[in-house]
Chains A and B, each alone.
Chain A
Amino acid sequence: MLDCAIIGGGPAGLTAGLYTTRGGLKNVVMFEMGMPGGQITQSSEIENYPGFYQHGKTGMDFMDTWQEQCFAFGLKHEMKKVDRVEKHGDYFNVFLENGDSIETKTVIVGTGSTPKRTGIKGEEEFWGKGVSTCATCDGFFYKNRPVAVLGGGDTALEEAHYLSNICSEVYLIHRRDEFRASPSTVDRVKKTKNIKFVTSTIIEEIEGDIMGVTSIRIKDIKSNKISTLMVDGIFIFVGHNVNNSVLKDKSGNFICDVNSLGQVIVDLNMKTSIQGLFAVGDMRIEAPKQVVSAAGDGAVAALQVISYIQELS
């Protein structure tokens, strides 16, 4: 039986792995279907993680520095996808995609979130053929081509700025006149010549041909005027959905308390409503969605796991 199963290999899961194993737990497995690192590996720049202040370093450069350290004290990694978690008495069963199940005394879930899709007409059809949620991955394929970015938060503006160095024009489409992004980011983006602001505007349809996206049909919501923007790509940054499916039982009910957005309700110790089950990182309530706080969550949960197991025995 495992001491602790960690589900998810982002900053929260990796830190939980480091703290549980360094704290003396012998049987700790992190379930992450590929190389750990999480969503931050898609970020083009990190400038708000204390102790790491190197301009031009990407999220991937940053997470590379975590790998050796987090596995140095005996954390094991299973490249398996977890289907769901069930509690039986004092213990948990972790069911894997391939049908196997593993017993564990405690579970730390940090499965993060996934970029939201908009449901705009054409989005599904041209997914991967001009519609993207990862500028660092796909910007390269739009060298000197016009693209659009949809959204008004930090991610949308930061990624628009990243794309402005690659693409001929970046149309920043936002349904409001004001931006939620931090003032310094908004300022920087406003000063970038090839970023064109298209505010108070929504996208009606993403259009294209067999090769992919060719244009988008947009609507000015103040004048109701509809026009067409010729772009080869559209990058969508309109928030995230919580990846909480591992916390649903066979009939689709959550095994612990979640709020109306599907975020897991935890206390300051990252405890869920189920004893021995902890939730960390972007999936929990009130998550600031920052690497530094996700790492903090991982450490908090790990320390709780250690004392929980001491009480259990």
Chain B
Amino acid sequence: MAKYVELTSENFNDTVAKGVTMVDFWAPWCGPCRMIAPVVEELAEEFEGRATIAKVNTDEEQELAVKYGIRSIPAILFFKDGEIVDQMVGAASKDAFASKLNAQL
């Protein structure tokens, strides 16, 4: 079963460098982040081999949050070969995230 990748400042750049990556910036105290948590897990399974699904815990990775100008969570950034190509703020449905991913594939 595919799982999402837990990103830190150590592995962030390498992970997003190639292909399509969806990064969910979240925190444990955030209600809407908790709401989409199972959605992100399902996306990791459904997009296995096609796109990387990743999460950044902004509580632990504050430097990454600052670097990407995160001021509201959940913030979902879509990368293609290392470049930000799309982003969303706030909870949304699985279909909404999937269509953003498919648009980059």
Contacts and interface: CB of A to CB of B under 8 A. Distances in A.
Interface of A: 33-35, 37, 39, 41-42, 58-60, 79-81, 97-98, 127-130, 132, 134, 136-138, 140-142, 211-212, 233
Nearest to A64: B34
B91 A98 contact: no
B35 interface: yes
23 contacts: A34-B37, A35-B34, A35-B38, A41-B35, A79-B39, A79-B42, A79-B94, A80-B93, A81-B95, A98-B95, A128-B72, A129-B72, A134-B72, A137-B27, A137-B33, A137-B73, A140-B27, A140-B58, A141-B65, A141-B71, A141-B72, A212-B71, A233-B71
Given A41-B31, A134-B30, A136-B31, A34 B39 contact: yes
Nearest to A39: B31
B92 to A, nearest CB: 8
B53 interface: no
A75 B72 CA distance: 33
Given A34-B36, A34-B37, A79-B39, A137 B94 contact: no
Question: Among A80, A98, A130, A138, which residue has the most Cβ atoms of chain B within 10 A?
Answer: A138
B89 interface: yes
B70 interface: yes
A6 to B, nearest CB: 16
A141 B70 contact: yes
Interface string B21-45: 0000001011111111111001000
Given A33-B93, A128-B75, A140 B38 contact: no
By size class, the interface of chain B is 20 to 34
B37 A138 contact: no
B69 interface: yes
B90 A128 contact: yes
Contact of B71 (A59, A130, A136): A130
Question: Among A34, A35, A130, A212, which residue has the most Cβ atoms of chain B within 10 A?
Answer: A34
A201 B96 CA distance: 38
B104 to A, nearest CB: 19
Q: List the 10 closest pairs (A to B, CB-CB), nearest first.
A: A41-B31, A128-B89, A34-B35, A81-B93, A128-B72, A42-B31, A137-B30, A33-B93, A34-B36, A141-B71
Given A79-B39, A80-B93, A128-B89, A37 B34 contact: yes
Contacts of A37: 31, 34-35
B29 A138 contact: no
B38 A79 contact: yes
Contacts of A134: 30-32, 72
Contacts of B33: 137
A127 B89 contact: yes
A136 B95 contact: no
B94 A33 contact: yes
Given A137-B27, A141-B71, A42 B32 contact: yes
B61 interface: no
A35 B74 CA distance: 14
